[in-house]
């Protein structure tokens, strides 16, 4: 229903469902190229937020009245929806406040009980801070070692970079599904397989993966996978942690309080089984319910069709930007998902972002929460254009035209 004839990919029809994409900024139609930071929301999702707060709202898991039962059913149905989306079982899906919270949950719960002095954690140089700082902090507090897998941003990630760091002390390999700066797609299945072979657990930061292509956690063989709702056309305040049930069952809770218990006695408390063991307190009720609606919306088009479209747009954008003298793409590997980062000879990325913004073009500029990557390649910042289901070729035409304006302003034309 999102494509008029259900066969061709109708980007204008898709875009028409996003109120924000049909507004003006600085008196110009908005050209939104910041979807990796947060995806815009379709009307179906926005309507569901209003509906679930206005007439279907109540707390979950604790009321016997009609509204509470309805809210609980919707909340748990959303968990079923997410579990199908990732091909997991419902008991392996934990709602968190976001991907950052999901990573911290495992860093505390698994890390504090399973990691010992001199153990080793392997990360890649392309981590978002969310998948770097919690593990770094854990390593420091446990006197464990962090080992970093480097790679050339212009090439595919080579699993050998991880293999050569592995030792019998490696306990965890954490890495992104897709780099939020380079768009590099990581060989998730191979890395998870390798982690298994050496007896380590695997944690996939799927923030920039699950929003572009279908994820089957069983097929990938990962122990943990996380993503944020707001990057998948859903609301802020909700994220998903998938965890292998056997591990979830063994590790302790992260937060303690209501809703995560089995029985509380004055001297002892027993805990609920996963996933509720990890969902202490009132959860993000409406955001979690609406995340299920966002998944429904995505499924009406199909992530495979969305990704096919996004790939063409990224290829087009890559050629367009690459053809401008003085624009240097960071990560020349063309097999990328979602993002194109670049620097310009004539201007700082903050100036670029400010100037193109006045043309109605929204891009991100800065270190993209990936300072280790920036440092490794002697960069302070880049400008990043990123795409979603609603992005069209003409968005990159607008960006390219506004970059010419940047060149004129800085005397590079």
If we measure between CA atoms, which residue out of 81, 133, 82 comes closest to residue 103?
A: 133
Is 207 one of the catalytic residues? Answer: no
Can you spell out the DSSP letters for 311-360? HHHHHHHHHHHHTSTTEEEE---S-B-SEEEEEESSS-HHHHHHHHHHTT
Closer residue to ligand PLP in complex, CB, 128/277: 128
Beta bridge partners of 242: 93, 225
Residues 246, 88 contacting (CB under 8 angstroms) = no
Least distance from ligand PLP to the Cβ atom of residue 385, Å: 15
3-state helix, strand, coil in the chain (%, to 5): 40, 20, 40
Closer residue to ligand PLP in complex, CB, 386/402: 386
Closer residue to ligand PLP in complex, CB, 39/346: 39
Torsion of the alpha carbons at 315, 320, 321 and 322, rounded to the nearest 10:
80
Whole-angstrom distance, CA of residue 99 vs CA of residue 233 = 15
Can you spell out the DSSP letters for 78-140? HHHHHHHHHT--GGGEEEESSHHHHHHHHHHHHHHHH--TT-EEEEETT--GGGTHHHHHHHH
Closer residue to ligand PLP in complex, CB, 130/406: 130
- What six digits make up the tokens of 133? 């700082």
Q: Whose structure tokens read 């056997």? A: 246
Strands 93-96 and 239-243: antiparallel
Least distance from ligand PLP to the Cβ atom of residue 412, Å: 31
- What six digits make up the tokens of 364? 């991100």
Closer residue to ligand PLP in complex, CB, 206/360: 206
Closer residue to ligand PLP in complex, CB, 176/292: 176
Closer residue to ligand PLP in complex, CB, 98/284: 98
Element (H, E) at 396: helix 393-409
Binding site for ligand PLP (CB under 6 A): 98-100, 128, 130-131, 176, 180, 205, 207-208, 228
Q: Give every CB contact of residue 289 below 8 A, 6+ residues apart in sequence.
A: 48, 52, 71, 74, 75, 77, 78
215 three-class SS:
coil
Least distance from ligand PLP to the Cβ atom of residue 185, Å: 12
- What are the angstrom distances between the C-alpha of 78 and each of 82, 287, 296, 308? 6, 10, 10, 26
Least distance from ligand PLP to the Cβ atom of residue 108, Å: 15
Closer residue to ligand PLP in complex, CB, 209/360: 209
196 three-class SS:
helix
Active-site entry in 31, 207, 226, 369: 369
Least distance from ligand PLP to the Cβ atom of residue 349, Å: 17
Q: Mind telling me the catalytic residues? A: 369
């Amino acid at each position: 229903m999102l494509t008029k004839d259900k066969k061709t990919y109708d980007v204008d029809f898709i875009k028409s469902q996003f109120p924000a994409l049909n507004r003006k900024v600085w008196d110009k139609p908005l050209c939104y190229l910041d979807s990796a930071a947060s995806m815009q929301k379709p009307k179906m999702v926005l309507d569901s937020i209003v509906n679930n707060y206005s007439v279907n709202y109540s707390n979950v898991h604790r009321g016997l009245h009609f509204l509470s039962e309805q809210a609980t059913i919707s909340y748990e149905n959303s968990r079923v929806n997410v579990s199908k989306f990732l091909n997991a079982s419902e008991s392996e899906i934990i709602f968190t406040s976001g991907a950052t919270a999901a990573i911290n949950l495992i860093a505390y719960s698994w890390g504090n009980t399973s990691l010992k002095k001199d153990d080793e954690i392997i990360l890649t140089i392309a981590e978002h801070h969310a998948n770097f700082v919690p593990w770094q902090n854990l390593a420091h507090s446990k006197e464990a070692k962090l080992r970093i897998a480097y790679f050339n941003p212009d090439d595919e990630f080579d699993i050998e970079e991880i293999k050569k760091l592995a030792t019998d002390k490696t306990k965890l390999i954490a890495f992104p599904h897709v780099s939020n700066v380079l768009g590099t797609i990581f060989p998730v299945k191979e890395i998870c397989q390798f982690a298994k072979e050496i007896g380590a657990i695997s944690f996939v930061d799927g923030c920039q993966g699950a929003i572009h292509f279908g994820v089957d956690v069983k097929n990938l063989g990962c122990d943990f996978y996380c993503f944020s709702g707001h990057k998948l056309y859903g609301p802020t305040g909700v994220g998903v942690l998938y965890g292998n049930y056997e591990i979830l069952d063994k590790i302790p809770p992260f937060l303690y309080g209501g809703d995560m218990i089995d029985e509380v006695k004055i001297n002892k408390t027993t805990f609920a089984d996963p996933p509720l063991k990890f969902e202490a307190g009132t959860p993000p009720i409406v955001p979690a319910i609406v995340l299920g609606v966002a998944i429904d919306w995505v499924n009406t088009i199909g992530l495979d069709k969305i990704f096919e479209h996004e790939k063409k747009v990224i290829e087009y954008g890559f050629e367009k930007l690459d053809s401008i003298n003085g624009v240097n793409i960071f990560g020349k590997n063309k097999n990328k998902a979602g993002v194109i980062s670049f620097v310009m000879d004539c201007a700082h990325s903050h100036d670029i972002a400010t100037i193109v913004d006045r043309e109605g073009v929204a891009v991100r500029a800065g270190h993209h929460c990936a300072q280790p990557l920036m440092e490794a390649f002697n960069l302070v910042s880049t400008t990043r254009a990123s795409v979603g289901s609603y992005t069209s070729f003409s968005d990159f035409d607008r960006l390219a035209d506004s970059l010419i304006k940047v060149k004129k302003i800085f005397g590079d034309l």
